[in-house]
Homo-oligomer: A and B are copies of this chain.
Amino acid sequence: MVVDLSELALKAGLADYSPVRGCMVIKPYGYAIWELIQKELDARIKECGHENAYFPLFIPESFLKKEADHIEGFAPECAVVTHAGGQKLEEPLVIRPTSETIIYHMFSKWIHSWRDLPFSVNQWANVVRWEMRTRLFLRTTEFLWQEGHTAHATHEEADGEALRMQKVYYDFMTKILALAPIVGQKSDSERFAGAEKTYSLEVLLRDGKILQAGTSHCLGQGFAKAFEIQFQTPNNELEFVHLTSWGVSTRLIGAIVLGHLDEKGLILPPAVAPIQAIIIPIYKTEEEKNKVLEECQKIASELKLAGIRHKIDSNDQTSPGAKFNEWELKGVPIRVQIGPRDVQNNQVELVRRDKCEKLKNIPRLGLPEKIQSLLTEMQDYLYERQLAWREENTYSADSIDELEQILETKGGFIKAHWNGKADTENKIKELTKATIRVKAFDEPEEKGKCLISGEESLQRVYIGRAY
């Protein structure tokens, strides 16, 4: 299925292009999805004991340069403020592309003793990366995200925290976004700039491409040494802390759209659907209109009481058929249709967005419960469908030709042997435009030979073409 996410996002009213290169406007319908994502994920982050804080948008250029790998990775993407208040600044300020450097500067002021550890903060903020090629939601110059940062006394503890947060993301993505990511570790060349290990979650989209939907990094002591974050141990020795950082962004909205869509448009998982049930009145005469709209209001009150997000589409400039199309495009999970005969017979017609299946003669009595149970079913079904999609589109390749052929004809995840080295990784990318997405945690051991070098390999990795 060939999909133009940008066109779809525009049509469904999720976003619009802005007059600033690569920046989008997130429209109310798209932003409402982000608010639901924030609410659900924020609660999970807080349950881990991480509190929210806010750090400056600006980072002194010298800070970015303190960790060598970090500046190398981010320098080409930085937007720089050189003038402010009508004057040239003494030191240029970089708009944060990520906040490790400024947050760890503060950590060095706040952390003194082993009693202060573990130490953590999370931040919901905008960040800016000057990307060459942008795409609504998937890669925008400015995007919104959450970035968590923790400091620990031992490497083991930090690594455990990075893995824990990856699990939190996994739990959130499967249960709330109904996505079925592959979880594992990135190759060295795909690591975050300044990290020791990057754990990631990779989602197979309906167009056969792969999306990195979230990452969690064990940063080791590199940043701690660069920013002199030391703590006194119980034995009165000074040691550097071990850091982690982890984040997900508005890119998740792209993952939802491309992970679940069909030829009619979006299919939103009920847990993040701003409107879970759209009520559409159907009538011809003025008398019918009054009757039907009155009943719609009653249904709306009942849905409100039941905590179901809903809306009546009472626009009388549009035909019911056009409304069906519009709300299908927007991915609303349940459509409630009601006409004069339905009012008379105390019933409605329901249509589930995922299966596009009509449920006729649904009794009015108990309607909120019926809708609630359909929403729950649909949430589960979408996850199962995404999981099945991933499984059906995961292949194995034992030669570079086979890899290329699958990529060209089918897309998806391709599992293959690789010797773990950067040169062969680059060669795969060069030959196929696909990248090594992740070394999956649950991949069984299996002896094989590297696609490129023929060297021995003990485990297959996931390869695919990524956004």
Contacts and interface: CB of A to CB of B under 8 A. Distances in A.
Interface of A: 16, 18-20, 23-28, 31-32, 34-35, 51-60, 63, 75-86, 92-93, 95, 102, 105-106, 109-110, 115, 121, 125-126, 128, 130, 132, 142, 144, 317
A81 B96 CA distance: 13
Nearest to A128: B57
Contacts of A130: 84-85
B115 A59 contact: no
Most chain B CB inside 10 Å of its own CB: which residue of A53, A77, A144:
A53
B84 A80 contact: yes
Nearest to A125: B126
A28 B55 contact: no
B317 A18 contact: no
B142 A57 contact: yes
B76 A86 contact: yes
Contacts of A109: 16
A80 B81 contact: yes
A106 B25 contact: yes
Given A25-B55, A25-B106, A53-B25, A19 B85 contact: no
A361 to B, nearest CB: 35
A63 B19 CA distance: 10
Contacts of A78: 84-86
Most chain B CB inside 10 Å of its own CB: which residue of A19, A26, A54, A105:
A54
A58 B24 CA distance: 11
Contact of A142 (B24, B27, B56, B86): B56
B18 A32 contact: no
Nearest to A86: B76
Contact of A20 (B58, B85, B125): B58
